[in-house]
Amino acid sequence: MNDRVKAAVIGSGNIGTDLMIKMLRFSQDLEIAAMVGIDPASDGLARARRLGVPTTDQGVNGLIAMSGFDDIRIVFDATSAGAHVANARALAPYGKRLIDLTPAALGPFVVPAVNLEENLDAADINMVTCGGQATIPVVAAVARTAPVRYAEIVASIAAKSAGPGTRANIDEFTQTTAHAIESVGGAERGKAVIILNPAEPALIMRDTVLCLVDAPDPAVRARITEAVERMIADVAAYVPGYRLKRAVQITQVDGRPHTLVADRPVTHQVTVLLEVEGAGHYLPAYAGNLDIMTSAALRVGEQIAARTPQAVK
């Protein structure tokens, strides 16, 4: 008997299509029951039909009208921040669990390796951004060892991997990621920068994490390195292409008050260089920024499904 939890994906672009394929190929707990789009000619909807997945090109209203809608427990939204607000409003009366892959930030921010357990019961889970999924685990690892007075992340992604939704949400990306660096990562202040790299051939996602900390004790600095390396392994368990580009660097800063943290004590800067290579399931390998979003969202959906009572699966 198929006891997998039924799920729908709204958004038939690159992210939604990759998520659908991951669900079909690898998920033991989730069954893709609908692919939803608004462009009848989209490759995502065409591919879903070829794979036997029920589809609609009428958006969220088309999903609600589908014959199997009542059996769907989880809805992944891979549209845009503005569209998610409307989709969440339309789905609110039906009691679905929403996993939001846009920067809308209606629900709690979730980074699976950091704070999944405490948010599994939330009605609308927000997956922050690709830059947040890649860098917040590192900030959190440092913050669990020494107070992070300031954290700044720079996410560089291939311009080819930035679709219309990403380009339309640049402001939301930086604001949402900066907020999550503080609320999830534990930094006192956070800043996020995104770079769309037009290089040819396209380069894989690269991320730089800078943390200002007060860590005068060499033993504390050693624990910071150990914590970051453990966290990298935790994320790589669900994003295989996630890895350190260079060894963790911890360098001493001068004794003057740092302008970014006023008079708070800061003795060292932690620098972590990351890269994220995509798995190549639907997207090219350079699109690690999209792969980390779909992989993280799938991890959240599977954990929710595992907790769903058998009687309502």
Numbered residues of the known binding site for NAD(+): 12-15, 161-169, 289
- For tokens 């969220």, what's the residue? 60
Distance CA 264, CA 107 (A): 32
Distance CA 108, CA 127 (A): 8
Rounded to the nearest 5°, which phi and psi values hold at 72?
-80, 125
The enclosing H or E element of 226 equals helix 218-236
Dig out the tokens for 199 from the structure.
Answer: 């290089």
- Tell me the binding residues: 12-15, 161-169, 289
Distance CA 201, CA 155 (A): 18
Alpha helices in 144-217 (DSSP H): 164-168, 170-183
Please name the residues in contact with 5: beta carbons below 8 A apart, sequence gap of 6 or more. 29, 30, 31, 73, 74, 301, 304, 305, 308, 313
**211 carries an active-site annotation:** no
Distance CA 171, CA 153 (A): 15
* Contact between 56 and 36 (Cβ < 8 Å): yes
Long-range interactions of 243-249: CB distance < 8 A, separation 24+: 243/274, 243/275, 243/276, 243/277, 244/272, 244/273, 244/274, 245/206, 245/273, 245/274, 245/275, 246/273, 248/224, 248/272
Query: Which is the catalytic residue, given 32, 98, 111, 130?
Result: 130
Distance CA 276, CA 288 (A): 5
Angle at 273 between CA 267 and CA 277, to 5 degrees: 160
Q: Which residues are designated catalytic?
A: 130
